[in-house]
């Protein structure tokens, strides 16, 4: 593909609820533009976008995919994203690299939960929007109903740019309301507006013109002066209004049949914003605009692992020009990166390209230090672009290697998956010692586990994270335990008497001694303490750490030959267990830090203060070598 100038680039993210036809729309765009010679389908598992085995298996998208097409002198970088909620990080990454959001609606169900999620992301990133009512060939397709629902949800700036001709089996084309022409079939053959639709088209056109006029003062003046408005003027104002988010045009398609797809590409090419139309991006004190002669600044919006070229880094060039075989500086990591070949990425395929103009999207392989959200720039002129904000994980499972072979491979393999998937988190729960994998839902973790197996042949088991309960006591207890093994040869002997008493919540476990007369020689007291602390850590009653009590060694006995540190440690351990057994042991459940709803109290009145027993949220992050 040739190198396109910034003004001729369109970065367009496909967003919306699951299963509304985003991937199919991308596939149809590739097909009608000639980028592919055969149209694949999600059912057959041969679309360019859903190339991952897990996507084939599930028949829905899990990753974002780049689908660049050329149309009417423009390079349209379509970015397909998943509709399934668990994979929203991919949607956020895709939207971060785009200048226009295509909000895809189903022609029967209209706006849905996933649509609202997509809308919020586009709103937060201030992305101009275009609404596509797809699957018009379905039974009960209802363009007018969907349009009304969209206007109700998002206001009058939602305006129809097209009127479908027919629906379901009779959906054969559409009327372009701006030019008042009909475009028939998958090849969008130009025709007159069908007489039966003329009246409806006229009335819709006037509401479209009103919506366009409202975005442009000069045009407003002419309009109210009843002066005629030319199509060029309207097209220019539509472009401006769309770019500023003042108007949200609605078009219609049946992607599976490619009907309406050529006109959609035409609308994007003619009216969609180019990177040069976007607001300057603040990077520290600097303010960057999409100029190829400007300083180099690129945002990394995706990291993928390719079986052939290895780690792939997707970047959106905010400013400047980047060429193959050059060096860039990772401003976040403070490290040099050698860029090998620059690629145009289409699905899983790479096509080498010489350079990228400002505003364009490309990929490079094998960067050493760079992760999603980083900025690449020139070492001499450094910028840090605003990073990418990801939602906090909501679903956590403990992960364990399922076989000996998996033990060493687990850490590095999970790290690789974390690089690719910013929605994942890996932590170690300092309270239970478990490795916790967190994500945006159970499907998210299931897919991650399958990828571990498929990509790295690592078998793991997932289980609900252990709640870091604690054990404590509700009343005083004592125990006097003798450990004795004297069956000839070097025997073992130690007698330990302990007293335990409850302490305030959060006090932890405290050990002290008030041995008199050397009943327990000084050198063995540390062994007693060690025995007490180890047993407390393992838990006495239910295997949870014993806490918030005072343990006092107050008496004991030793044997001049058979006593040793080991025998006193063992005796201390047993003595503690016996003391707890008589002191009304209690299970404590962690409570969330203040301000969050406390978990239900366990058996007794007292509950853990957050200082001693670390609730899950304070778990430390695991660094895998
Ligand atoms: N009848 C009809 N079916 C369509 C059309 N477009 C897509 N489909 C079907 O709708 C289903 C979902 O299509 P996808 O392209 O996977 O939808 P998606 O929005 O990418 O779904 P997610 O990846 O889950 O977000 C598939 O069975 C498609 O064949 C269309 O225009 N008409
Ligand atoms: Mg899809």
> What's the pLDDT at 608?
39
Atom of ligand 1 nearest to the CA of 41: 29
Q: How far is the CA of 20 from the centre of ligand 1 (A)?
A: 5
User: What fold is seen in the domain 395-463?
Assistant: Alpha-Beta Plaits (3.30.70)
Residues in the chain: 625
Q: What is the pLDDT of residues 496-536, one digit of tens each?
A: 999 999 999 999 999 999 998 889 999 999 999 999 999 99
Average pLDDT score over residue span 167-182: 97
Ligand 1 neighbour 47 (Cβ under 6 A) = no
Q: What is the pLDDT of residues 391-439, one digit of tens each?
A: 999 999 999 999 888 888 999 999 999 999 999 999 998 878 899 999 9
Rounded Cα distance, 137 and 134, in Å: 8
Q: What's domain 281-377's architecture?
A: Beta Barrel (2.40)
Q: What is the dihedral of CA 234, 235, 236, 241, to 10 degrees?
A: 80
Ligand 1 neighbour 21 (Cβ under 6 A) = yes
> What's the pLDDT at 594?
59
Residue 593 banded pLDDT, cuts 50, 70, 90: low
Q: Which ligand has the minimum distance to the alpha carbon of residue 15?
A: 1
Q: How confident is the prediction for the chain on average, in pLDDT? A: 92
Which of the 8 DSSP states describes residue 57? H
Q: How far is the CA of 360 from the centre of ligand 1 (A)?
A: 28
What's the Rg (C-alpha) of the chain? Answer: 33
Q: What is the pLDDT of residues 294-348, one digit of tens each?
A: 999 999 999 998 888 899 999 999 999 999 999 999 999 999 999 999 999 999 9
Rounded Cα distance, 497 and 121, in Å: 64
Q: Reduce the DSSP state of residue 557 to 3 states and report it.
A: strand
Average pLDDT score over residue span 228-244: 95
- Residue ranges of the domains in the chain? 6-197+247-277, 281-377, 395-463, 470-586
Average pLDDT score over residue span 136-162: 97
Q: How far is the CA of 14 from the centre of ligand 1 (A)?
A: 12
Report whether pLDDT(54) > 60: yes
Ligand 1 neighbour 23 (Cβ under 6 A) = yes
Q: How far is the CA of 91 from the centre of ligand 2 (A)?
A: 11
Beta strands in 120-274 (DSSP E): 129-134, 158-160, 162-165, 173-176, 181-184, 189-191, 248-252
> What's the pLDDT at 128?
98
Rounded Cα distance, 131 and 143, in Å: 12
Atom of ligand 1 nearest to the CA of 55: 23
> Which contiguous run of DSSP H or E holds residue 115?
helix 113-124
User: What fold is seen in the domain 470-586?
Assistant: Ribosomal Protein S5; domain 2 (3.30.230)
Q: Do the bridges between strand 158-160 and strand 248-252 make them parallel or antiparallel, or are there none, so unpaired?
A: parallel
Rounded Cα distance, 382 and 295, in Å: 9
Ligand 1 neighbour 24 (Cβ under 6 A) = yes
Atom of ligand 1 nearest to the CA of 50: 23
User: What fold is seen in the domain 6-197+247-277?
Assistant: Rossmann fold (3.40.50)
Output the residue whose Cα is nearest ligand 1's atom 11.
19
Whole-model pTM?
A: 0.84
Q: How far is CA 264 from the centre of its chain?
A: 29
Ligand 1 neighbour 41 (Cβ under 6 A) = yes
Q: Which ligand has the minimum distance to the alpha carbon of residue 114?
A: 1
Ligand 1 neighbour 346 (Cβ under 6 A) = no
Of the listed ranges 88-92, 351-355, 412-416, the one predicted with least confidence: 412-416
Q: Which ligand has the minimum distance to the alpha carbon of residue 58?
A: 1
Atom of ligand 1 nearest to the CA of 134: 31
- SS3 for 464-521, per residue? CCCCCCEEEECCCEEEEEEEEECCCCCCEEEEEEEEEEECCCCCCEEEEECCCCCCCC
Ligand 1 neighbour 135 (Cβ under 6 A) = yes
> What's the pLDDT at 595?
52
């Amino acid at each position: 593909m040739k190198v396109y100038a910034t003004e001729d680039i369109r970065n367009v993210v496909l967003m919306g609820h699951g299963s509304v036809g985003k991937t199919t729309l991308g596939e149809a765009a590739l097909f009608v533009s000639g980028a592919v010679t055969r149209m694949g389908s999600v059912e057959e598992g041969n679309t360019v976008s859903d190339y991952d085995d897990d996507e084939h298996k599930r028949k829905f998208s899990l990753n974002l995919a780049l689908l660049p097409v050329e149309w009417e002198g423009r390079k349209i970088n379509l970015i397909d994203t998943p509709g399934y909620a668990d994979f929203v990080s991919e949607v956020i990454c895709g939207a971060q690299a785009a200048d226009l959001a295509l909000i895809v609606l189903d022609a029967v169900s209209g706006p849905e939960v996933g649509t609202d999620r997509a809308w919020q992301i586009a709103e937060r990133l201030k992305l101009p929007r275009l609404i596509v009512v797809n699957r018009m060939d379905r039974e009960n397709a209802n363009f007018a109903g969907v349009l009304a629902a969209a206007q109700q949800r998002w206001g009058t700036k939602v305006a129809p740019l097209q009127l479908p001709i027919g629906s379901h089996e009779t959906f054969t084309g559409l009327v372009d309301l701006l030019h008042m022409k009909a475009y028939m079939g998958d090849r969008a053959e130009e025709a007159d507006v069908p007489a039966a639709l003329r009246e409806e088209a006229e009335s819709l056109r006037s509401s479209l013109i009103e919506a366009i006029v409202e975005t442009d003062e000069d045009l407003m003046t002419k309009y109210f002066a009843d002066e005629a408005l030319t199509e060029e003027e309207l097209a220019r104002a539509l472009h401006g209004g769309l770019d500023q988010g003042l108007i949200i045009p609605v078009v219609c398609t049946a992607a599976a049949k490619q009907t309406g797809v050529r006109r959609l590409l035409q609308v994007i090419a003619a009216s969609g914003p180019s990177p040069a139309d976007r607001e300057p991006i603040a990077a520290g004190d600097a303010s960057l605009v999409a100029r190829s002669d400007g300083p180099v600044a690129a945002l990394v919006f995706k990291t993928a692992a390719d079986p052939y070229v290895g780690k792939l880094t997707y970047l959106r060039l905010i400013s400047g020009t980047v060429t193959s075989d050059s060096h860039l500086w990772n401003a976040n990591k403070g490290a040099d990166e050698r860029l090998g070949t620059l690629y145009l990425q289409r699905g899983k395929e790479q096509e080498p390209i010489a350079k990228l103009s400002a505003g364009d999207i490309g990929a490079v392989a094998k960067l050493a230090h760079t992760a999603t959200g980083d900025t690449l720039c020139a070492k001499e002129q450094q910028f840090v672009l605003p990073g990418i904000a990801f939602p906090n994980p909501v679903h956590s499972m403990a992960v364990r290697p399922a076989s000996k072979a998996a033990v060493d491979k687990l850490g590095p393999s999970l790290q690789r998956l974390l690089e690719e998937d910013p929605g994942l988190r890996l932590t170690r729960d300092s309270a239970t010692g478990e490795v916790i994998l967190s994500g945006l839902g159970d499907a998210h973790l299931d897919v991650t586990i399958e990828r571990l197996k498929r990509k790295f042949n690592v078998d793991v088991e997932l289980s609900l994270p252990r709640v870091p309960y604690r054990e404590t006591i509700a009343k005083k207890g004592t125990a006097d335990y003798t450990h004795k093994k004297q069956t000839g040869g070097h025997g073992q002997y130690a007698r330990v008497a302990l007293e335990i008493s409850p302490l305030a919540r959060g006090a932890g476990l405290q050990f002290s001694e008030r041995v008199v007369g050397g009943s327990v020689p000084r050198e063995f007291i540390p062994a007693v303490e060690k025995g007490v602390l180890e047993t407390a850590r393992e838990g006495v009653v239910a295997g949870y750490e014993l806490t918030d009590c005072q343990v006092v060694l107050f008496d004991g006995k030793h044997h001049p030959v058979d006593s040793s540190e080991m025998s006193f440690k063992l005796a201390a351990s047993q003595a503690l267990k016996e003391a707890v057994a008589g002191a009304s042991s209690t299970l404590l459940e962690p409570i969330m830090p203040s301000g969050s709803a406390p978990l239900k109290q366990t058996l007794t009145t007292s509950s853990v203060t957050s200082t001693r027993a670390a609730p899950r949220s304070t778990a430390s992050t695991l660094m895998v070598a």
